[in-house]
């Protein structure tokens, strides 16, 4: 086995540069996603699980949990491989805004942009601030914010 075969797929801290953009695959939000998230989180708010009640709201239909949207964005970001095996820790979520609802049947993807990097030698890596723009099938932003993620340095 070559030494490169053991290398994590993810990017090391030194490989991130402000302005870099990464685009994820897309994923359709299903009723199962919403029901399962309600069960896991304990959030059975009517707007998420009661179709008849939801018809009487501003949105006219059920809305996926905002935190479910963040969780799916995280999964889509991980599926790019950029973070696989090189993340030390997820540090912060900042300036998060829920702009539009995500409905059952919407298909979302995430556009990530590296905003800043800061070496943290004592941790053996550095901090990478990544802006996420979660968009639906109409290319409308449904949520947006910044993550601060700690990445490992490239091995010597």
CA distance 57 to 100: 14
pLDDT-derived band at 3 (thresholds 50, 70, 90) equals: low
CA distance 83 to 9: 8
pTM (2 d.p.): 0.91
Strand partners, 87: 151
CA distance 96 to 93: 7
Query: What does the pLDDT read at residue 29?
Result: 98
For tokens 């095996």, the residue is 85
Beta strands at 107-120 and 125-135: parallel, antiparallel or unpaired? antiparallel
Query: What does the pLDDT read at residue 156?
Result: 83
Mean pLDDT of all residues in 79-100: 96
The answer as to CATH 3.65.10.10 being correct for domain 11-152 is no
Within 8 A by CB and 6+ apart from 14, the residues are: 153, 154
For tokens 């302005």, the residue is 19
Task: Indicate the domain borders of the chain.
Answer: 11-152
pLDDT-derived band at 45 (thresholds 50, 70, 90) equals: very high
């Amino acid at each position: 086995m070559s030494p490169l075969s053991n290398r994590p797929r993810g990017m090391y801290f030194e490989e991130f540069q402000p302005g870099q953009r990464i685009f994820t695959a897309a994923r359709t939000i299903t009723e199962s996603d919403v029901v399962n998230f309600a069960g896991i989180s304990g959030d059975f708010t009517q707007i998420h699980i009661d179709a008849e009640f939801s018809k009487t709201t501003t949105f006219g239909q059920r809305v996926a949990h905002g935190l479910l949207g963040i969780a799916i964005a995280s999964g889509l970001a991980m599926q790019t491989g950029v973070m696989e095996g090189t993340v030390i820790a997820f540090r912060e979520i900042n300036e998060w805004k829920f702009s539009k609802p995500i409905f059952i049947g919407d298909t979302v993807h995430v556009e990530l942009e590296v905003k800043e990097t800061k070496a943290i030698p004592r941790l053996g890596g550095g901090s990478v601030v990544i802006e996420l723009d979660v968009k639906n099938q109409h290319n409308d932003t449904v949520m947006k914010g910044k993550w601060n993620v700690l990445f490992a340095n490239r091995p010597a």
